[in-house]
Amino acid sequence: MNHFLLAAALALTAPAAMACETVVVGDLTVENAWSKATIGAGRPGVFYVVITNTGSTDDALLGIASPVAGMPMLHETVIQDGVASMPHAMSIPVPAGQSVQLSPGGYHGMLMGLTTALKEGDSFPVTLSFEKAGEVTVNVEVLSLRAEGPDCADAGQ
């Protein structure tokens, strides 16, 4: 219900700015949450975000959950000796004073078991679980299949 209300509230704001919103939990700032449109629901979706740790204690992203995906997981695209694979990432370190990006060609949330196709302009919630900061839910903007990321002029990257 919480997720639904959040989504409903955010759907009323300008869609282009949605991915540029910043959510703070403890020492962590979570922003630029976006995804790419999928072709149907039979193929996995993807989740990207930027997490900044402004505190003095290391933290780590342990997992993600979303009502749109039956099996969401953290992955890391690794290109080694000319071969790309994407092993499961048990956790993604968010060291003190640093920013970590889930972005194309690197760490990403893999949204398997989609309950619906993700359409450009839609949004959906993703709950991130951190080792120290706990849980926080962000609203994820679905950009076009060809998008390289949200266009946030003052994004903290």
**φ and ψ of 7, to 5 deg:** -65, -45
The single-letter DSSP state of residue 106 is S
Rounded Cα distance, 62 and 84, in Å: 23
* Residue 36 in the binding site for Cu ion (CB under 5 A): no
* Residue 64 in the binding site for Cu ion (CB under 5 A): no
Binding part of the chain for Cu ion, among 52-60, 68-76, 97-105, 149-157 by CB under 5 A, reads 68-76
* Residue 119 in the binding site for other proteins (CB under 8 A): no
Residue ranges in 51-110 that form contacts with other proteins under rule CB under 8 A: 71, 73, 75, 77, 79, 81-88, 104-105, 108, 110
SS3 state at 116:
coil
List the one residue from 25, 53, 69, 75 that touches Cu ion (CB under 5 A): 75
Q: Which residues of 93-105 are buried (b: 16+ CB within 10 A; e: fewer)?
A: ebeeeeebbbbee
The single-letter DSSP state of residue 40 is S
Residue ranges in 124-143 that form contacts with Cu ion under rule CB under 5 A: none
Rounded Cα distance, 144 and 58, in Å: 34
Residue ranges in 10-39 that form contacts with other proteins under rule CB under 8 A: 36, 38-39
Residues that bind other proteins (CB under 8 A): 36, 38-40, 42-46, 71, 73, 75, 77, 79, 81-88, 104-105, 108, 110-113, 145-148
